A and B are shown apart, each in its own frame.
Chain A
């Protein structure tokens, strides 16, 4: 009885720039570890969808948007500091 996508993320990236690639990898790793099977990630390339980035007020890349559950959160950067990312997203680091 698992709700298939309790966590919805949007990750705004700038093509395959270094920061964005790192962020994508970090996010995937983090989700696999802490939210196995309970997440959904949408990667938005600002070069492909600049209008959307503008509308969403994306100024810096990479930017991670937690769409659900509420409250929504946004984090910029490569998401390299795992603990900080977890805190911001409101996830309690469950012991693996």
Chain B
């Protein structure tokens, strides 16, 4: 209970703006019941910031708000804000109201005046609607009408005193040339930034022809805040301030789930495939089949039924589909079924920051679980060198938080021999799996080799494999080493076929030997049988002989007895013949 109360107390000190990134920078939003100053040059997004503060308050925190427009009319502001998907007309019916306070062009003035008229009107409005948030847009317009510095100061103090008594959290926007810091303090309302509790500076600059926006919190009384400039973009949903979650804040649950790379042998090399929500970096020289490898991944993801976004900076989506079709990766069917979304640089363009925001928005709209960016090095081109690193970091951070498996390709500079020289490969430190593709030129051939440079948390093969593209898709082949040299392509094929022949010869020889042995065995068997038969015959002969002898002896005895009988001359001889 106590913890709850403490949390509420902490939360109640700040009013969330609901602006992506801004609440993180300020640790919760703008100071509750106080005034925040937003300064910026023309077109820096002051009005949008203010309006979004109110819109989000109404939409997400059920706090009604009033927008006091000193510069543009409310109709124009509403018309301008229509491009954002805020549902403004709906909000205007209940929680949001505009107060037009533009001085009419023919307004005559004589002498000093004060802002009580406006405040009294607002007071009634605030009470009626239980307003919690208020924005004074371009307060400098009305301040400029005041005759002297003292009067301006007086009116600012009046406002400053009036707001907290009504429990209003206020955003005041002022025009300022923030490029020259000294000019701020010299401006008539410059002291206002010393008075307010929170001051935000919006900056809009052009670097090498690319528009870059930055936001910086200049001060925030009684609170910690990120003091650095943070890039932001004004996207389809309004402000999007780029921040990197610190490691502690990423509570993306780590998973052991694997997703296939689309190439079976690569999965084996990685010990089962990529990790879900991992960032895979595929680097390589032009034409080393980076796109093909990422296409294989996308195809496999789509076949699992996972919604996939394929961002192609180099060529149009249809071209990618055609090209990948030639190696048996058929993506058109996935596009047709709506699982795959192909996006080209025609959709995603502008500064690296803008690209990131577009990619995020499209991925979110598509509900993507797998994302391919081909090549991610496109983000570091054309005036984005400074921001590309941060953008890449945030891309990773975001994809991890969203549990999106990210496959990025990156073009290596062919001139530099070492892959580490690649500018965007700062990121390789952040990538979870890094696959490098290169050429091996040997014996008049250029063959693609693939190796896994690193893969966090997975046992992975140290072997270089040859990447073979065929009509049937992507396969990996073992490479041979012979005399310390790596064999690929035709030489590998030769070696392979030589091995095949050797195996065949050995098989035939074995067979032949078997047959010979069989024959010998059969022969011996036959001989054994013949001898056995002969033996039997001998035995029979022997038996027969014995029997013949016995019967002849008996016959002889019987014959002599009979003879004596017939002679009858002698007395019967004794039965037993006695030899003398």
Contact = CB atoms under 8 A, between A and B. Distances in A.
Contact of B118 (A26, A60, A81): A60
A59 B111 contact: no
Interface string A4-32: 00000000101101011011001000000
A54 B99 contact: yes
B141 to A, nearest CB: 11
Given A50-B124, A51-B124, A59-B142, A12 B117 contact: yes
A47 B124 CA distance: 9
B110 A74 contact: no
Contacts of A77: 109-113
Given A53-B120, A54-B121, A57-B100, A85 B114 contact: no
Contacts of A62: 113, 117
B108 interface: yes
Nearest to A46: B120
A89 to B, nearest CB: 9
B107 A61 contact: no
A59 B159 CA distance: 13
A84 interface: yes
Interface string A36-60: 0000000000110011011001111
A81 B112 CA distance: 11
B123 interface: yes
Contacts of A76: 107-110, 113, 145
A88 interface: yes
A44 B526 CA distance: 138
Interface residues of chain A: helix, strand, loop or mixed (majority): mixed
Interface in B161-217: none
B116 interface: yes
Nearest to A15: B116
Contacts, number: 100
Contacts of B120: 14, 46-47, 50, 53, 61
A74 B358 CA distance: 49
B109 A14 contact: no
B580 to A, nearest CB: 177
B101 to A, nearest CB: 4
A26 B113 CA distance: 14
Contacts of B103: 59
Contacts of B111: 19, 22-23, 26, 77-81
B116 A46 contact: yes
Interface in B428-481: none
A50 B101 CA distance: 15
A59 B143 CA distance: 12
Given A76-B109, A84-B108, 7 more contacts: A14-B117, A50-B121, A59-B103, A59-B118, A60-B115, A74-B104, A80-B112
**6 shortest interchain CB distances as A-B pairs:** A14-B116, A78-B111, A54-B121, A50-B124, A46-B120, A77-B111
20 contacts: A14-B116, A17-B116, A19-B113, A20-B116, A26-B111, A46-B116, A46-B120, A50-B123, A50-B124, A54-B99, A54-B121, A58-B118, A59-B117, A59-B118, A60-B142, A77-B109, A77-B110, A78-B112, A81-B110, A81-B111
Interface of B: 99-101, 103-104, 107-118, 120-125, 142, 145
